[in-house]
């Protein structure tokens, strides 16, 4: 029990340092107007972990605050670095369930939206890298628990640091439970994954309270699919104010394609026609999968080269391994992050990867038995025509080889699920 305060012997109240910090921040926040003008975001009064780490807190107001922080400031900054439809929601939940992790689901969405909508001319010329500076800037501020900073991108603009438009708020335990949401109470692992329950129950999101909740939890985990390559994160890994841990989640590109075809049928209409007719339409956009393969391979190769800037900061995780053996893989992820895997995480895994879970729904990270989770991870093999599979294998052959995914050489082999396409591989963290 490290959270909150409790009565000690002789009626004394003993408080954890985090609670004290929270209280100090709360009282400073009332007097100190800087917490409201969040532009000057890195000089607000509640940058505790972040500031104390640098040990350059000249402002005497900080000293008292910093004295409460443990000597080796323990805040971990975890980045779940993934690609669309690679199992990142499930993997994110493994982090979200930890009571001391402040988890945010795809905050970079707001940056992309803000720029995409600002002018139609810009929309046409934006490429995947155009927003990287803004992405990194937002990540840095979120790791510092400065939730006000994201107001620059949220539309409509928040009023009085309160918003109704926070993307996928319900995916974040911290944004739907005390102190942010007094109505929220404990979210049980079996709650349905309804995106609207949290705003309904909790009302608008007070970003000041969110910042305080973040500080009180101590560790921050962020999921994103919007950063193309791990090399794009180098400046963050080298930033002395951060202790960044990158979990690079990869998945078989053939499975990613099948999943995208199901989830985004408009964008993947040409592929669906191909799948249905067995003939490749001339207008099919192959880059919808080749750019994913290229990025995944580039990042994995960077990791395999073990550059100094990734030491202790990079772990490659195949989604298939996680689906087959969630408990052990989650343990590996937590060891890499330098955190204890709390019971709540274990309970969540047990409930959500077990056939006894309440309702097997379309919740795509709810599996039944271990054998069935293998089936889920490999269900693409029953959903894609052999012709498409062969084409993707040719386009992505290097990526498949690098990550240990076997090619199939006939339709029969594709459909034969007792023939596994996932080679046994061990990917050690970069040390």
Ligand X SMILES: *[C@@H]1O[C@H](CO)[C@@H](O)[C@H](O)[C@H]1NC(C)=O
**Is 130 an interacting residue with respect to ligand X (CB under 6 A)?**
no
Binding of ligand X at residue 401 (CB under 6 A)?
yes
Whether 82 contacts 88, CB under 8 Å: yes
180: which residues sit within 8 A by CB, 6+ positions away?
A: 174, 202, 205, 206, 209, 210, 213
Would you say 164 or 235 has its CB closer to ligand X? 164
User: Looking at beta carbons only, is 76 or 148 nearer to ligand X?
Assistant: 148
Instruction: Give the nearest distance from C-beta 338 to ligand X in angstroms.
Output: 30
Using rule CB under 6 A, residue 306 touches ligand X: no
Closest separation in Å from C-beta 99 to ligand X: 21
272 near ligand X, judged by CB under 6 A: yes
Contact between 164 and ligand X by CB under 6 A: the answer reads no
Q: Which is nearer to ligand X, 96 or 206 (CB)?
A: 206
Site membership for ligand X, residue 113 (CB under 6 A) = yes
Strands (E), 255-343: 314-318
| CB 400 within 8 Å of CB 299 | no
The three-state secondary structure class of 282 is coil
CB of 395 to ligand X, least distance (A): 9
Q: Buried b vs exposed e over 348-362: b needs ≥16 C-beta within 10 Å?
A: bbeebbbeebeeeee
Q: Which is nearer to ligand X, 73 or 304 (CB)?
A: 304
- Out of 412, 423, 425, 428, the only residue in the binding site for ligand X (CB under 6 A) is 412
Cβ neighbour number for residue 282 with a 10 Å cutoff = 6
Looking only at residues 202 through 241 of this chain, which bind ligand X when binding is defined by CB under 6 A? 206, 208-209
Torsion of CA 224, 230, 234, 239, to 10 degrees: 40
Determine how many CB atoms are found less than 10 A away from the CB of residue 196.
9
Q: Residue ranges of the alpha helices (H) in 316-358?
A: 319-324, 326-337, 343-352
Q: Which C-beta is closer to ligand X: that of 359 or that of 418? A: 418
Among 67, 276, 362, 424, binds ligand X (CB under 6 A): 276
Q: Does residue number 20 form part of the binding site for ligand X (CB under 6 A)?
A: no
User: Does 393 sit near ligand X (CB under 6 A)?
Assistant: no
165-168: long-range contacts, CB 8 A cutoff, minimum separation 24: 166/205, 167/105, 167/106, 167/107, 167/109, 167/110, 168/105, 168/106, 168/109, 168/195
Q: How many CA atoms lie within 13 A of 339 on its CB side?
A: 27
Peptide bond into 391 cis (omega under 30): no
Measured from the CB of residue 207, what is the shortest distance to ligand X in angstroms? 8
Q: Is 354 in the site for ligand X (CB under 6 A)?
A: yes
* 398 near ligand X, rule: CB under 6 A: yes
CB of 173 to ligand X, least distance (A): 19
> By rule CB under 6 A, what string of x and - marks binding of each residue 69-108 to ligand X?
----------------------------------------
Q: Residue 411, CB half-sphere, CA atoms under 13 Å: how many?
A: 7
**b (16+ CB within 10 A) / e for 71-100:** eebebbbbbbbbbebbbbbbbbbbbbbbeb
Is 285 one of the binding residues for ligand X (CB under 6 A)? no
Q: Is 406 in the site for ligand X (CB under 6 A)?
A: no
Instruction: Count residues binding ligand X (CB under 6 A).
Output: 24
| Minimum distance, C-beta of residue 175 to ligand X, in the bound complex (Å) | 13
Question: Which of 405, 431, 430 minimizes the C-alpha distance to 419?
Answer: 405
Report if residue 294 touches ligand X, rule: CB under 6 A.
Answer: no
* Contact track, ligand X, 241-270, x by CB under 6 A: -----------------x--xx--------
**Looking at 60-68, 70-78, 130-138, 201-209, which segment touches ligand X (CB under 6 A)?**
201-209
Q: Which residues contact 305 (CB under 8 A, 6 or more apart)?
A: none
Sign of CA dihedral 183, 185, 190, 194: positive
Give the footprint of ligand X on this chain (CB under 6 A).
113, 117, 155, 160, 162, 206, 208-209, 258, 261-262, 272, 275-276, 354, 356, 383, 397-398, 401, 412, 416, 418-419
């Amino acid at each position: 029990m490290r959270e909150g305060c409790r009565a000690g012997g002789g009626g004394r109240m003993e408080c954890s340092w985090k609670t004290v910090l929270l209280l100090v921040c709360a009282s400073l926040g009332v007097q100190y107007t800087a917490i409201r003008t969040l532009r000057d975001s890195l000089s607000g009064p509640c940058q505790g972990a972040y500031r104390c780490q640098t040990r350059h807190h000249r402002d005497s107001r900080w000293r008292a605050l910093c004295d409460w922080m443990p000597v080796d400031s323990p805040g971990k900054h975890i980045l779940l670095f993934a690609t669309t439809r690679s199992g990142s929601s499930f993997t994110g939940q493994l982090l979200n369930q930890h009571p001391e992790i402040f988890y945010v689901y795809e905050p970079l969405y707001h940056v992309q939206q803000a720029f995409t909508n600002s002018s139609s001319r810009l929309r046409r010329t934006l490429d995947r890298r155009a927003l990287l500076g803004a992405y990194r800037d937002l990540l840095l501020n979120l790791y510092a628990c400065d939730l006000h900073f994201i107001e620059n991108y949220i539309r409509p603009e928040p009023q009085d640091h309160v918003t109704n438009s926070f993307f996928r708020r319900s995916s974040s335990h911290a944004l739907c439970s005390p102190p942010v949401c007094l109505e929220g109470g404990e979210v049980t692992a079996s709650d349905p994954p309804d995106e609207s329950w949290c705003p309904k129950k909790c009302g608008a999101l007070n970003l000041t309270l969110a910042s305080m909740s973040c500080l009180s939890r101590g560790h921050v985990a962020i999921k994103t699919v919007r950063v193309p390559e791990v090399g794009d994160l180098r400046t963050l890994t080298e930033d002395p104010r951060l202790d960044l841990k990158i979990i690079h989640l990869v998945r078989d590109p053939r499975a990613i394609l099948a999943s995208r075809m199901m989830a985004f049928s408009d964008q993947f209409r040409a592929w669906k026609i191909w799948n249905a007719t067995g003939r490749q339409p001339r207008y099919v956009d192959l880059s919808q999968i080749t750019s994913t393969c290229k990025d995944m391979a580039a990042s994995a190769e960077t990791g395999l080269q073990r550059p100094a800037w990734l030491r202790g900061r990079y772990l490659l995780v195949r989604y298939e391994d996680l689906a087959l053996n969630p408990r052990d893989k989650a343990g590996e992820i937590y060891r890499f992050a330098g955190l204890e895997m709390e019971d709540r995480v274990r309970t969540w895994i047990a409930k959500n990867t077990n056939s006894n879970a309440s309702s097997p729904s379309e919740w795509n990270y709810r599996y039944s038995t271990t054998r069935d989770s293998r089936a889920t991870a490999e269900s693409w093999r029953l959903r894609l025509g052999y012709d498409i599979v062969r084409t993707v294998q040719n386009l992505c052959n290097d990526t498949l080889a690098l990550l240990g995914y076997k090619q199939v050489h006939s339709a029969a082999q594709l459909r034969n699920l007792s023939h596994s396409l996932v080679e046994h591989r061990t990917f050690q963290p970069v040390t």
